[in-house]
Amino acid sequence: MTQGIWRSKKIGVLMGGFSREREISLKSGHAMAEALRQRHYNVDEIDVDLQLIKRLLQQPIDVAVIALHGSYGEDGSMQGLLECLKIPYTGSGVLASAICLDKALTRVLVDLQGITIPEGIVLTRDDDLKSVENQIFRRLPVIVKPNREGSTIGIHVVRKREELKPAVEEALQMDSKVLIEDFIEGTEVTVALFEGRALTPLEVVPHSGFYDFKSKYTPGETEYILPARISTEMTERVQKQCELIFKNLGLKGIARADFIVRQNKKPYFLEINTIPGMMETSLVPKAAKYDGISFEDLVEGLLEGASLKVGS
Protein backbone atom coordinates (compact mmCIF):
# COMPACT_ATOMS: atom_id res chain seq x y z
CA MET A 1 0.00 0.00 0.00
CA THR A 2 1.32 3.40 -0.99
CA GLN A 3 2.60 5.37 1.97
CA GLY A 4 0.37 8.28 2.89
CA ILE A 5 -2.86 6.90 1.42
CA TRP A 6 -4.78 8.10 4.50
CA ARG A 7 -2.97 11.44 4.74
CA SER A 8 -5.96 13.59 3.76
CA LYS A 9 -8.60 11.31 5.26
CA LYS A 10 -10.53 11.36 8.55
CA ILE A 11 -9.06 8.79 10.94
CA GLY A 12 -11.01 7.51 13.92
CA VAL A 13 -9.06 5.87 16.75
CA LEU A 14 -11.49 3.54 18.52
CA MET A 15 -10.67 3.08 22.21
CA GLY A 16 -12.19 2.43 25.62
CA GLY A 17 -15.08 0.10 25.00
CA PHE A 18 -16.81 -2.32 27.36
CA SER A 19 -14.18 -4.90 28.34
CA ARG A 20 -12.26 -5.22 31.60
CA GLU A 21 -9.31 -3.75 29.70
CA ARG A 22 -11.05 -0.42 29.10
CA GLU A 23 -8.51 1.75 30.94
CA ILE A 24 -5.59 0.10 29.16
CA SER A 25 -7.36 0.59 25.84
CA LEU A 26 -7.80 4.30 26.51
CA LYS A 27 -4.07 4.66 27.15
CA SER A 28 -3.20 2.74 23.97
CA GLY A 29 -5.66 4.81 21.95
CA HIS A 30 -4.42 8.15 23.24
CA ALA A 31 -0.80 7.18 22.51
CA MET A 32 -1.61 5.98 18.98
CA ALA A 33 -3.67 9.09 18.21
CA GLU A 34 -0.86 11.34 19.37
CA ALA A 35 1.67 9.42 17.25
CA LEU A 36 -0.49 9.97 14.17
CA ARG A 37 -0.92 13.65 14.99
CA GLN A 38 2.86 13.91 15.12
CA ARG A 39 2.76 12.77 11.49
CA HIS A 40 0.09 15.39 10.71
CA TYR A 41 -2.89 13.06 10.26
CA ASN A 42 -6.45 14.23 10.91
CA VAL A 43 -7.35 12.15 13.98
CA ASP A 44 -10.56 11.83 15.97
CA GLU A 45 -10.37 9.94 19.27
CA ILE A 46 -13.56 7.93 19.76
CA ASP A 47 -14.44 6.45 23.14
CA VAL A 48 -16.59 3.50 22.11
CA ASP A 49 -20.03 3.32 23.71
CA LEU A 50 -23.57 2.24 22.73
CA GLN A 51 -23.88 5.34 20.55
CA LEU A 52 -21.01 4.33 18.29
CA ILE A 53 -23.07 3.40 15.22
CA LYS A 54 -25.08 6.64 15.43
CA ARG A 55 -21.87 8.62 15.77
CA LEU A 56 -20.19 6.92 12.81
CA LEU A 57 -23.24 7.57 10.64
CA GLN A 58 -23.57 11.21 11.69
CA GLN A 59 -19.83 11.96 11.84
CA PRO A 60 -18.30 9.59 9.27
CA ILE A 61 -14.67 8.54 9.34
CA ASP A 62 -12.69 7.19 6.42
CA VAL A 63 -10.68 4.62 8.34
CA ALA A 64 -10.64 3.14 11.85
CA VAL A 65 -7.60 2.45 13.99
CA ILE A 66 -8.75 -0.18 16.49
CA ALA A 67 -7.15 0.29 19.92
CA LEU A 68 -9.73 -1.82 21.75
CA HIS A 69 -8.49 -4.70 23.91
CA GLY A 70 -10.45 -7.78 24.93
CA SER A 71 -14.15 -8.44 24.34
CA TYR A 72 -16.10 -6.30 21.86
CA GLY A 73 -12.88 -5.07 20.29
CA GLU A 74 -10.36 -7.85 19.92
CA ASP A 75 -12.84 -10.70 19.38
CA GLY A 76 -14.11 -9.86 15.89
CA SER A 77 -17.18 -7.91 17.06
CA MET A 78 -15.87 -4.47 16.14
CA GLN A 79 -14.27 -5.81 12.99
CA GLY A 80 -17.65 -7.20 11.89
CA LEU A 81 -19.39 -3.91 12.58
CA LEU A 82 -16.83 -1.97 10.55
CA GLU A 83 -17.14 -4.46 7.68
CA CYS A 84 -20.91 -3.87 7.65
CA LEU A 85 -20.38 -0.09 7.64
CA LYS A 86 -17.73 -0.43 4.91
CA ILE A 87 -15.13 1.37 7.01
CA PRO A 88 -11.56 0.06 6.47
CA TYR A 89 -9.81 -0.80 9.73
CA THR A 90 -6.42 -1.77 11.09
CA GLY A 91 -5.28 -5.22 12.15
CA SER A 92 -6.79 -8.65 11.71
CA GLY A 93 -10.22 -9.47 10.34
CA VAL A 94 -13.33 -10.94 11.92
CA LEU A 95 -12.41 -14.63 11.90
CA ALA A 96 -8.74 -14.29 12.87
CA SER A 97 -9.64 -11.92 15.72
CA ALA A 98 -12.33 -14.25 17.06
CA ILE A 99 -10.04 -17.27 16.91
CA CYS A 100 -7.10 -15.66 18.67
CA LEU A 101 -9.08 -14.29 21.61
CA ASP A 102 -10.35 -17.83 22.17
CA LYS A 103 -7.30 -19.39 23.85
CA ALA A 104 -8.65 -22.94 23.74
CA LEU A 105 -9.38 -22.79 20.01
CA THR A 106 -6.02 -21.16 19.30
CA ARG A 107 -4.30 -24.00 21.18
CA VAL A 108 -5.95 -26.58 18.91
CA LEU A 109 -4.99 -24.78 15.71
CA VAL A 110 -1.42 -24.09 16.84
CA ASP A 111 -0.98 -27.70 17.94
CA LEU A 112 -2.03 -28.82 14.44
CA GLN A 113 0.89 -26.79 13.07
CA GLY A 114 3.34 -28.92 15.06
CA ILE A 115 4.09 -26.20 17.60
CA THR A 116 4.42 -27.34 21.23
CA ILE A 117 1.78 -26.17 23.70
CA PRO A 118 1.41 -26.92 27.43
CA GLU A 119 -0.86 -29.82 28.28
CA GLY A 120 -4.25 -28.57 29.39
CA ILE A 121 -7.99 -29.04 29.70
CA VAL A 122 -11.00 -26.79 29.19
CA LEU A 123 -13.85 -26.53 31.71
CA THR A 124 -17.25 -24.93 31.19
CA ARG A 125 -19.86 -23.82 33.70
CA ASP A 126 -21.73 -27.05 33.03
CA ASP A 127 -18.75 -29.28 33.88
CA ASP A 128 -18.24 -30.89 37.25
CA LEU A 129 -14.87 -29.82 38.62
CA LYS A 130 -14.78 -32.78 40.99
CA SER A 131 -14.74 -35.19 38.07
CA VAL A 132 -11.36 -33.86 36.91
CA GLU A 133 -9.86 -32.70 40.22
CA ASN A 134 -7.61 -35.73 40.67
CA GLN A 135 -6.37 -35.42 37.10
CA ILE A 136 -5.49 -31.77 37.74
CA PHE A 137 -3.97 -32.41 41.16
CA ARG A 138 -1.48 -34.82 39.58
CA ARG A 139 -0.30 -32.00 37.34
CA LEU A 140 0.21 -29.24 39.93
CA PRO A 141 1.27 -26.51 39.57
CA VAL A 142 -1.15 -25.37 36.86
CA ILE A 143 -2.28 -22.09 35.35
CA VAL A 144 -6.00 -21.29 35.56
CA LYS A 145 -7.29 -18.56 33.27
CA PRO A 146 -10.50 -17.34 31.62
CA ASN A 147 -10.61 -18.50 28.02
CA ARG A 148 -11.27 -15.08 26.49
CA GLU A 149 -9.62 -12.44 28.66
CA GLY A 150 -6.42 -10.48 28.14
CA SER A 151 -3.94 -8.56 30.29
CA THR A 152 -3.60 -11.62 32.58
CA ILE A 153 -7.02 -10.73 34.06
CA GLY A 154 -8.41 -13.52 36.24
CA ILE A 155 -5.31 -15.68 35.86
CA HIS A 156 -3.89 -17.71 38.78
CA VAL A 157 -1.03 -20.09 39.41
CA VAL A 158 -2.45 -22.99 41.43
CA ARG A 159 0.20 -24.79 43.47
CA LYS A 160 -1.96 -26.34 46.20
CA ARG A 161 -5.14 -28.41 46.02
CA GLU A 162 -7.19 -25.93 48.03
CA GLU A 163 -6.35 -23.13 45.55
CA LEU A 164 -7.95 -24.83 42.56
CA LYS A 165 -11.68 -24.35 43.23
CA PRO A 166 -11.50 -20.60 44.06
CA ALA A 167 -9.33 -19.97 40.98
CA VAL A 168 -11.74 -21.83 38.69
CA GLU A 169 -14.78 -20.12 40.20
CA GLU A 170 -13.25 -16.67 39.72
CA ALA A 171 -12.32 -17.44 36.12
CA LEU A 172 -15.83 -18.75 35.39
CA GLN A 173 -17.27 -15.44 36.58
CA MET A 174 -15.39 -13.80 33.71
CA ASP A 175 -15.96 -16.35 30.97
CA SER A 176 -18.09 -19.40 30.23
CA LYS A 177 -14.92 -21.44 29.67
CA VAL A 178 -11.77 -21.85 31.75
CA LEU A 179 -8.42 -23.07 30.47
CA ILE A 180 -6.25 -25.06 32.88
CA GLU A 181 -2.69 -25.58 31.63
CA ASP A 182 0.48 -27.10 33.02
CA PHE A 183 2.71 -24.44 34.58
CA ILE A 184 5.92 -24.47 32.55
CA GLU A 185 9.08 -23.31 34.29
CA GLY A 186 11.43 -21.40 32.01
CA THR A 187 12.25 -18.12 30.33
CA GLU A 188 9.18 -16.04 29.46
CA VAL A 189 9.57 -14.62 25.98
CA THR A 190 7.27 -12.40 23.95
CA VAL A 191 7.63 -11.81 20.22
CA ALA A 192 6.15 -8.83 18.41
CA LEU A 193 5.00 -9.31 14.82
CA PHE A 194 4.66 -6.50 12.31
CA GLU A 195 2.97 -7.41 9.02
CA GLY A 196 4.00 -11.02 9.47
CA ARG A 197 7.64 -10.38 10.40
CA ALA A 198 8.80 -11.43 13.83
CA LEU A 199 10.86 -8.81 15.67
CA THR A 200 13.57 -9.47 18.24
CA PRO A 201 12.22 -11.60 21.13
CA LEU A 202 11.88 -9.76 24.45
CA GLU A 203 12.34 -11.48 27.80
CA VAL A 204 9.90 -10.76 30.63
CA VAL A 205 11.22 -11.14 34.18
CA PRO A 206 8.57 -10.38 36.83
CA HIS A 207 10.03 -9.85 40.30
CA SER A 208 7.15 -11.83 41.80
CA GLY A 209 8.02 -14.84 39.66
CA PHE A 210 4.74 -14.69 37.74
CA TYR A 211 3.67 -12.12 35.14
CA ASP A 212 0.21 -11.25 36.47
CA PHE A 213 -1.81 -8.03 36.15
CA LYS A 214 0.10 -6.32 38.96
CA SER A 215 3.47 -7.26 37.47
CA LYS A 216 2.38 -6.07 34.04
CA TYR A 217 1.06 -2.64 34.99
CA THR A 218 2.91 -1.62 38.17
CA PRO A 219 6.13 0.32 37.45
CA GLY A 220 9.23 -1.45 38.70
CA GLU A 221 7.53 -4.84 39.20
CA THR A 222 8.97 -6.40 36.04
CA GLU A 223 12.28 -6.29 34.18
CA TYR A 224 12.28 -6.37 30.38
CA ILE A 225 15.38 -7.67 28.63
CA LEU A 226 16.16 -7.10 24.95
CA PRO A 227 17.23 -9.28 23.31
CA ALA A 228 15.88 -12.21 25.31
CA ARG A 229 18.56 -14.38 26.91
CA ILE A 230 18.00 -17.38 24.68
CA SER A 231 20.31 -18.92 22.11
CA THR A 232 20.50 -17.73 18.52
CA GLU A 233 19.06 -21.06 17.42
CA MET A 234 16.14 -20.73 19.84
CA THR A 235 15.54 -17.12 18.79
CA GLU A 236 15.23 -18.14 15.17
CA ARG A 237 13.03 -21.10 16.06
CA VAL A 238 10.59 -18.99 18.05
CA GLN A 239 10.50 -16.30 15.36
CA LYS A 240 9.72 -18.87 12.65
CA GLN A 241 6.95 -20.36 14.77
CA CYS A 242 5.44 -16.90 15.32
CA GLU A 243 5.50 -16.13 11.61
CA LEU A 244 3.89 -19.49 10.84
CA ILE A 245 1.08 -18.84 13.34
CA PHE A 246 0.57 -15.31 11.99
CA LYS A 247 0.30 -16.60 8.42
CA ASN A 248 -1.81 -19.70 9.04
CA LEU A 249 -4.32 -17.96 11.31
CA GLY A 250 -4.71 -15.15 8.79
CA LEU A 251 -3.51 -12.29 10.99
CA LYS A 252 -2.84 -8.77 9.74
CA GLY A 253 -1.01 -5.73 11.04
CA ILE A 254 0.48 -6.10 14.51
CA ALA A 255 0.36 -9.03 16.91
CA ARG A 256 2.31 -10.36 19.89
CA ALA A 257 2.93 -14.01 20.74
CA ASP A 258 3.97 -15.30 24.17
CA PHE A 259 6.15 -18.32 24.85
CA ILE A 260 7.92 -20.09 27.70
CA VAL A 261 11.31 -21.44 26.72
CA ARG A 262 12.28 -24.39 28.93
CA GLN A 263 16.02 -24.68 29.63
CA ASN A 264 16.81 -23.02 26.29
CA LYS A 265 15.78 -26.26 24.58
CA LYS A 266 12.07 -26.21 23.93
CA PRO A 267 9.59 -23.34 23.36
CA TYR A 268 5.99 -23.68 24.55
CA PHE A 269 3.43 -21.45 22.86
CA LEU A 270 1.04 -19.74 25.30
CA GLU A 271 -1.13 -17.31 23.33
CA ILE A 272 -1.18 -14.64 20.65
CA ASN A 273 -2.70 -11.16 20.95
CA THR A 274 -4.09 -9.44 17.84
CA ILE A 275 -4.36 -5.99 19.46
CA PRO A 276 -1.57 -5.82 22.05
CA GLY A 277 -0.93 -2.80 24.24
CA MET A 278 0.29 0.15 22.19
CA MET A 279 1.62 2.71 24.60
CA GLU A 280 5.21 3.72 23.86
CA THR A 281 6.34 1.68 26.86
CA SER A 282 4.33 -1.42 25.87
CA LEU A 283 6.08 -4.62 24.78
CA VAL A 284 5.51 -4.34 21.03
CA PRO A 285 6.82 -0.75 20.80
CA LYS A 286 9.83 -1.76 22.96
CA ALA A 287 10.75 -4.53 20.53
CA ALA A 288 10.10 -2.32 17.51
CA LYS A 289 12.34 0.41 18.90
CA TYR A 290 15.12 -2.12 19.46
CA ASP A 291 14.80 -3.14 15.80
CA GLY A 292 14.98 0.46 14.64
CA ILE A 293 11.25 1.14 14.21
CA SER A 294 10.04 4.27 16.00
CA PHE A 295 6.65 4.35 17.70
CA GLU A 296 5.38 6.79 15.09
CA ASP A 297 6.58 4.54 12.25
CA LEU A 298 4.95 1.54 13.92
CA VAL A 299 1.55 3.22 14.27
CA GLU A 300 1.72 4.78 10.81
CA GLY A 301 2.65 1.41 9.32
CA LEU A 302 -0.33 -0.18 11.05
CA LEU A 303 -2.58 2.54 9.62
CA GLU A 304 -1.20 2.06 6.11
CA GLY A 305 -2.33 -1.56 6.19
CA ALA A 306 -5.93 -0.70 7.08
CA SER A 307 -8.49 -2.39 4.84
CA LEU A 308 -11.76 -4.28 4.62
CA LYS A 309 -11.03 -8.00 4.89
CA VAL A 310 -14.32 -9.74 4.05
CA GLY A 311 -14.32 -10.77 0.42
CA SER A 312 -10.90 -9.26 -0.21
Domains detected in the chain: 10-90 (3.40.50.20), 99-116+185-274 (3.30.470.20), 120-182 (3.30.1490.20)
CA distance 36 to 45: 11
Rg (C-alpha) for the chain, rounded Å, is 19
What was the pLDDT predicted at 186? 94
pLDDT digits (tens, 9 = 90+) for 137-152: 999 999 999 998 765 7
- Which residues are part of the catalytic machinery? 21, 151, 217, 256, 258, 271, 273, 277
Q: What is the pLDDT of residues 163-190, one digit of tens each?
A: 999 999 999 999 999 999 999 999 999 9
Q: What is the pTM of this model?
A: 0.91
Helices (H), the chain: 22-38, 52-58, 77-84, 94-101, 103-112, 130-137, 161-174, 213-217, 232-248, 283-290, 295-304
pLDDT of 2: 43
H-helix or E-strand containing 256?
strand 254-262
User: Which residue numbers in the chain have pLDDT < 50?
Assistant: 1-2
pLDDT of 212 reads 60
